[in-house]
Amino acid sequence: MKFFTIAISASLVFLLWSLYFFWRYDFINDPRSAFYGTLLWFVSIVTWSIYAFMHHYRNSKPNERERLSLREKFILLSLLTLAFIVRLYKVDRYATLLDDWYWLDQVRGILQGFVTTPFGFIGDQPSNLPAFIVLPIYIFTGKSYLAVRITGILLSLGNIVIMFYLARQIFNKSVAFFTAFFIATSIWDIHVSKIPWINTTINPVLISGTLYYVYKSVTQYSLRNALLAGLFIGISINLLYLAAINAIALLVYFIIRLFFQKHKVQTLTAIATIAFTSF
C-alpha cells in the first residue's frame, strides 16, 4: 500500500510540475522549457503506469459489466468538463497556421459544392474525411476559423472517454478514473488540441478505439465488437498513415495470441470479422 501511495503521489507531483511549465512558457518558441516540461510529463506517465500494473496484479479482476453509479458518472463528466475548459482556454494562443487554411478551404468547398467526396487528398494525407467532421462545428461557430481547433478539442474528449472504458475493461474503475484524469491534464494532449493538426488529434481516437474493440472482441467475442474494431482499423488504414500502424501491431498481437491462447476458434473468428470489415 505504501508503494502505491508513493507511486501515485509522484505521478501527480510530476504532472502538476509539467503543467506549470506548459502554462508558464511557450513551448513552440522556448524549446528548452518544452524539453523539461515534456520530460516531467513523461516521468509522470511512467510512474503512473507502474502504479496501474502493480495495482492490477495485486487486486482481483474487475467486473467490467458493473454499471457506473450516479456519483461516478458525475466524476467522469467533471473530468471531461475540466479537459474541455483547459483546452478551450487560450485556444487562439497561436496565430492562424497553414493547417487551419487547409481544412477551412475544404469545408468551404463542401458548402459551395466543389468538394463532394471524402476520398480526396489534402496536403500529405490520403483523405479529406476530417473536413466533413469540421463542417458542423464550422457552421455552429458562425464560420469561425477556430472551428478546426474546437473539432480537435472534441476529438480529444472522445479519446478520454474511450481510454476510460479501456482502462476499466482491463484494470478497474479506480485505474480508469485516474487514466481519464491524466489524459485530461496531459500537456501533450492539451497542446495538440490547441493547434489545427486534425490528423494529430484523430490518431489517438482511432488507436484507442481500435484497441478497445479489439480487446473486447478477443476477450468476450460478439459480432458488434468485431465489426466496430474493423471499422476503426479500416478508417485508420484509409485516413492516416500513422494510425494505419494499428494494423501491423494487431497482426503481431494476433499471431502471438494464436500461439499462446487455448481459444483459437474465437480468436480466428474475431480476426476474420475484423479483417472483412476493415477492408
pLDDT in the model for residue 157: 94
For the chain, which residues score pLDDT lower than 70?
Answer: 1-4, 55-66, 119-126, 196-199, 240-244, 261-264, 266, 276-279
Burial class (CB in 10 A: 0-12, 13-18, 19+), 87: buried
Say how far apart CA 234 and CA 237 lie, in whole Å: 5
Question: What pLDDT is attached to residue 163?
Answer: 93
Can you give the pLDDT at residue 242?
Answer: 62
CA–CA separation, 69 and 231 (whole Å) = 30
Q: pLDDT at position 81, please?
A: 95
| Tens-digit pLDDT profile for residues 205-218 | 888 898 898 888 88
pLDDT at 125: 62
